């Protein structure tokens, strides 16, 4: 089976390789490849949303012909193309011995979302970016992994703030033919369409593929003519609220996804479930073995020893529970195929403390996967406590849920200028060995002036980008002046800048720093040593409490008493996230413990030199060294937790962060601050890299799971 080669009629023969590069997201984490597109036409590249497929479609023949005759461009092109081919064709990754350990067999990775690039909006938040970073790292390391997910053609919600500060949503439809995805085709040239087994009336999915370096991600799309409208809507958007449709979505993801791999002839010996949404894939693994004549218990044993489940959150809404009547409706003909009765089937998904609530996808995945993990050391503990009820005979410490702390894909999240700086001082091959802490000791070689200059340049870039958005709203939509100011028009790069960018789930307490407005105003309006805070983030469209928090922040940002030093950047997405994690001075993180299982945005900021001002939760419990940022909220807090935590933030700002930042040498360099930046990069970058994370998955789970196959 093949994927369709897209036709770009304007592309001259000398540059056909651009098509190859544009069709593989490899370009997204290789700055030289991105530059190849940007060089064609800077403005068009921006206007296409940095989507090379769209760019190549839309650029006029003359522009491309000119590039084909430009020796400078061609030199660049030839280098990138040969690197690309070498990188993709290379059988072994950077990890040949471990790669060999995996026996060349594939691991199937299932996730409901993938954050890969802003031109492919198949994500809601952190879970998706974690999955995207996982795939990219598996490609870099040569891990034989194949991924399955949804396309969500209507699912992308853009954020529009109204004049009154309330978040409105604008749905955006994906233009499938102008995205970095391709149809998977049969021999006769028609797109592969798969019927989801066991569901009547039938649901069909069309299969798409996107190449993430060496890893293939198969995307399912139910929006095809073969399906009735209800079925067409299954993959329309992420995490549908309606329970039955949500159940159907998860049936398609788990059962349909397995069928897609089977249809394409992709063998996989192990399964990795990124969160419980795809857990029905486990049923298909059971059924396949039982059909081959295996007994139920033996099949269960085999599936256990080859399946990995990663749980991502202690927040209750993050765990799907489907009422039994719905399960009955969709699975009454399924359990006989496993040779078990209704009760045995339902017991697989029973939560012992809430036996009547329904079929719990997390409980199910924990029971049927033999390898289980939380996403930080602390979250491992929290998960063991949460799920001890599934192992009532074991003490909490021995509950078989391990942890692998999350990490971020370094080539994706590092600012290209920082990468160049590291090339200069850590050695040109530092990226090949970036989970090695010794490599990072060379950060000490960077002169303070040089690191500070690049940081300052990144901060200007962030502020320019935010002002530009705000200017567009002002010019195009005729928003009020105060609206434009709240969007960040008065931001000043010389001011100490805190960043808070993440989803506006209430447990993240975005407005905590607004707890005592009088205190905050003093910080913002200090004549000599002011601070400014940039907020960005979306509330879930159904989350009114989250929207109220957002509104409160936005309206505060409009208040002249805040001096224009609070800003809310609209429409948080991967691109805004990039600017934020590159450019702020301090990354603020104050969720309600222990709700933040890990958090990853702070790791991205740390990689680029921004220290954390963070509560003791998630990854920061492992990340804090005493010298690389600031911490509060340790131990139990009695009484008003918000007040105590806000007070801690104010005190750290007043006594530590502000004086440190504004203590500059005669030539304007805050040497003590740069000291903290260096400690931040050194201690956090190697440990919280996706490289370290994927290697741990290989060691702890992938290798033994493939052995168990």
Among 99, 126, 256, 358, binds ligand PLP (CB under 6 A): 126
* Interface characters, 84-123, with ligand PLP (x: CB under 6 A): ----------------------------------------
Nearer to ligand PLP, 574 or 585 (CB): 574
Give dist(CA 483, CA 464) in Å, integer: 17
Residue 36 · residue 64 · CB < 8 Å: no
Q: How far is the CB of 494 from ligand PLP (least distance, A)?
A: 27
Could you tell me which residues are beta bridge partners of residue 204? 195
Q: Which stretch binds ligand PLP (CB under 6 A): 179-187, 486-494, 548-556, 593-601?
A: 593-601
Q: How far is the CB of 601 from ligand PLP (least distance, A)?
A: 3
Please tell me the count of residues contacting ligand PLP according to CB under 6 A. Answer: 12
Q: Which of residues 493-532 bind ligand PLP (CB under 6 A)?
A: 502
**600 sits near ligand PLP (criterion: CB under 6 A):** yes
**129 sits near ligand PLP (criterion: CB under 6 A):** yes
Length of the chain: 709
**216 sits near ligand PLP (criterion: CB under 6 A):** no
Q: Which stretch binds ligand PLP (CB under 6 A): 10-18, 460-468, 596-604, 670-678?
A: 596-604
Residue 491 · residue 621 · CB < 8 Å: no
Give dist(CA 430, CA 446) in Å, integer: 14
Among 577, 586, 657, 674, binds ligand PLP (CB under 6 A): 577
Q: How far is the CB of 540 from ligand PLP (least distance, A)?
A: 13
- Alpha helices by DSSP H, listed for 427-534, are 437-440, 448-477, 481-484, 517-525
**574 sits near ligand PLP (criterion: CB under 6 A):** yes
Q: How far is the CB of 574 from ligand PLP (least distance, A)?
A: 5
Q: How far is the CB of 413 from ligand PLP (least distance, A)?
A: 8
Give dist(CA 479, CA 693) in Å, integer: 45
Query: Among candidates 1, 403, 34, which has minimal Cα distance to 183?
Result: 1
643 token code pair? 């007040």
**409 sits near ligand PLP (criterion: CB under 6 A):** no
676 token code pair? 């903290």
- Which residue, chain included where needed, has tokens 């993709």? 88
- Which residue, chain included where needed, has tokens 């597109």? 37
Query: Among candidates 696, 690, 693, 687, which has minimal Cα distance to 438?
Result: 687
Q: Which stretch binds ligand PLP (CB under 6 A): 12-20, 172-180, 356-364, 601-609?
A: 601-609
User: Exposure pattern of 42-72 as b/e (b: 16+ CB <10 Å)?
Assistant: eebbeebebbbbbbbbbbeeeebeebbeeee
Nearer to ligand PLP, 390 or 605 (CB): 605
Q: Which stretch binds ligand PLP (CB under 6 A): 231-239, 389-397, 563-571, 572-580?
A: 572-580
**125 sits near ligand PLP (criterion: CB under 6 A):** yes
Give dist(CA 274, CA 450) in Å, integer: 40
**28 sits near ligand PLP (criterion: CB under 6 A):** no
Q: At what angle do helices 690-697 and 126-141 cross, to 10 degrees?
A: 80
Backbone region of residue 567 per phi and psi (left: phi > 0; alpha: psi in -120 to 50; beta: other values) = beta
Among 213, 233, 599, 623, binds ligand PLP (CB under 6 A): 599
**411 sits near ligand PLP (criterion: CB under 6 A):** no
For 604, residues 6+ apart whose C-beta sits below 8 A from its C-beta are 408, 413, 577, 581
Nearer to ligand PLP, 137 or 284 (CB): 137
Q: How far is the CB of 131 from ligand PLP (least distance, A)?
A: 11
The footprint of ligand PLP (CB under 6 A) covers: 125-126, 129, 502, 573-574, 577, 599-602, 604
């Amino acid at each position: 089976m093949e994927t369709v080669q897209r036709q770009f009629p304007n592309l001259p023969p000398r540059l056909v390789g651009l098509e190859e590069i544009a069709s593989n997201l490899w370009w997204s984490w290789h700055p030289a490849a991105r530059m190849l597109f940007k060089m064609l036409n800077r403005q068009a590249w921006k206007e296409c949303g940095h989507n090379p497929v769209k760019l190549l479609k839309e650029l006029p023949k003359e522009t491309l012909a000119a590039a084909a005759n430009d020796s400078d461009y061609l030199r660049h092109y030839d280098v990138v193309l040969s690197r690309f081919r070498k990188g993709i064709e290379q059988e072994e990754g950077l990890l040949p011995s471990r790669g060999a350990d995996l026996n060349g067999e594939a691991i199937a990775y299932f996730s409901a979302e993938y954050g890969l690039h802003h031109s492919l909006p198949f994500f809601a938040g952190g879970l998706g970016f974690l999955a995207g970073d996982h795939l990219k790292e598996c490609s870099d390391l040569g891990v034989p992994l194949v991924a399955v997910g949804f396309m969500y053609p209507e699912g992308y919600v853009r954020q529009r703030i109204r004049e009154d500060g309330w978040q409105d949503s604008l749905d955006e439809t994906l233009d499938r033919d102008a995205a970095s995805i391709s149809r998977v085709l049969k021999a006769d040239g028609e797109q592969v369409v798969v019927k989801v087994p066991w569901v009547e009336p039938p649901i069909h999915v069309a299969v798409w593929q996107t190449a993430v370096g060496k890893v293939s991600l198969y995307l399912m799309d139910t929006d095809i003519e073969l399906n009735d409208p209800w079925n067409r809507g299954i993959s329309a958007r992420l995490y549908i609220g309606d329970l039955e449709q949500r159940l159907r979505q998860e049936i398609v993801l788990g059962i349909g996804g397995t069928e897609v791999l089977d249809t394409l002839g992709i063998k996989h010996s192990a399964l990795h479930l990124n969160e419980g949404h795809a857990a029905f894939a486990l049923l298909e693994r059971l059924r396949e073995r039982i059909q081959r004549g295996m007994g139920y218990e033996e099949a269960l044993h085999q599936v256990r020893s080859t399946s990995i489940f990663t749980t991502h959150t202690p927040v209750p809404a993050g765990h799907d529970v489907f009422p039994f009547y719905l399960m009955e409706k969709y699975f009454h003909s399924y359990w006989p195929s496993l040779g078990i009765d209704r009760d045995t089937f339902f017991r697989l998904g029973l939560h012992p403390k809430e036996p009547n609530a329904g079929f719990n996808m997390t409980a199910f995945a924990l029971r049927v996967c033999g390898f289980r993990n939380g996403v930080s050391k602390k979250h491992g503990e929290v998960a063991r406590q949460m799920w001890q009820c599934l192992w009532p005979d074991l003490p909490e410490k021995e509950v078989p849920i391990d942890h692998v702390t999350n990490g971020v894909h370094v080539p994706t999240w590092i600012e290209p200028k920082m990468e160049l700086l590291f090339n200069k001082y850590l050695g040109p091959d530092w990226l090949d060995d970036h989970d090695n802490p010794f490599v990072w000791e060379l950060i000490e070689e960077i002169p303070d002036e040089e690191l500070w200059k690049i940081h300052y340049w990144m901060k200007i870039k962030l502020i320019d980008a935010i002002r530009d958005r705000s200017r567009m709203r002002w010019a195009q939509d005729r928003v009020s002046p105060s609206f434009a100011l709240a969007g960040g028009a008065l931001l000043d790069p010389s001011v100490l800048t805190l960043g808070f960018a993440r989803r506006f789930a209430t447990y993240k307490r975005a407005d905590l720093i607004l707890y005592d407005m009088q205190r905050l105003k003093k910080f913002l309006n200090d004549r000599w040593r002011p601070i400014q805070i940039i907020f960005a983030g979306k509330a879930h469209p159904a989350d009114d409490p989250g929207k109220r928090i957002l509104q409160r922040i936005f309206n505060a940002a409009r208040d002249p008493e805040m001096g224009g030093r609070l800003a809310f950047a609209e429409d948080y997405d991967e691109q805004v996230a990039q600017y934020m994690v590159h450019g702020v001075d301090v990354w603020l993180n104050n969720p309600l413990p222990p709700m933040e299982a890990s958090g990853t945005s702070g790791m991205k900021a740390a990689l680029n030199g921004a220290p954390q001002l963070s509560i003791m939760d998630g990854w920061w419990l492992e990340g804090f060294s005493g010298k690389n940022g600031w911490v509060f909220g340790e131990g139990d807090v009695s009484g008003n937790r918000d007040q105590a935590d806000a007070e801690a933030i104010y005190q750290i700002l007043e006594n530590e962060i502000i004086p440190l930042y504004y203590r500059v040498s005669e030539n304007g360099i805050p040497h003590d601050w740069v000291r903290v930046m260096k400690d931040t990069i050194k201690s956090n970058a190697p440990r919280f890299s996706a490289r370290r994370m994927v290697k741990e998955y290989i060691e702890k789970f992938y290798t033994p799971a493939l052995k168990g196959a």
